[in-house]
Structure 1
Amino acid sequence: MVVGLFVVRRHELTDESWAVIEPFLAPPRMGRPVRDRRQVVNGILWKLSTGAAWRDLPERYGPWKTVYERFRRWSADGTWDRLL
C-alpha cells in the first residue's frame, strides 16, 4: 500500500497509526543518536507477527539487537501496557 511518499509494508504502521502511538513512546534521549522509533516499532511488529527469531529481523528495521533491546526496555517500563 502506498501512503504519501512511503510504501507501507504488511507489518508496518500507517502514518495515522504512528500518530496515535508516537506520544506514548519516550522522547529520544540526549547523547548518542537513537534509531528511528517508528522503524523500531515496525521491526517489533514484524517479529511478533511472523514469530521469527530476533536475529532474522530484516535489515530495513535496523540491527536486531537494537530492536530487541528497545522491545525489552519498553516491556519493562510499562510502555506496551500504556499503548494497549
Structure 2
Amino acid sequence: MGLGGRVKGNSLFIDALFWILCTGTPWQNLPPDYGGWKNAHRRFTVVVIMAYRNMYLQS
C-alpha cells in the first residue's frame, strides 16, 4: 500500500470516528461507506491505548 492508500485509510478512519461520536450509535452500526466497523473499532482502541500509555510515561 502506497502513501495514498494510508492517507485515504486515515481519512476514512477519522470520518468513521466523527460519525460514531456525532450519532452516538454502536460501532456495529457504522455504515459500510466508512469501511468495516471491526477495523475502525480496532484502530480506535489502539489510539486510546497509545494515548494512555503516553500519558503514563510522561507522568
Same fold (TM over 0.5): yes
Query: Corresponding residue for 1:72?
Result: 45
Structure 1 residue runs of 5 or longer lacking an equivalent are: 1-27
Structure 2 residue runs of 5 or longer lacking an equivalent are: 55-59
The structure richer in helix per residue is: 2
What is the total number of aligned residue pairs between the two structures? 49
Secondary structure of the corresponding residue to residue 36 of structure 1: helix
**Percent identity between the two aligned chains:** 27
Give, in angstroms, the shift of residue 67 of structure 1. Answer: 0.4
Q: So what's the TM-score if we normalise by structure 2?
A: 0.71
Q: Which runs of 4+ in 1 moved over 3 A?
A: none
Q: CA RMSD in A?
A: 2.6
The structure richer in strand per residue is: 1
| One-letter amino acid matched to 2:40 | V
Give, in angstroms, the shift of residue 78 of structure 1. Answer: 1.2
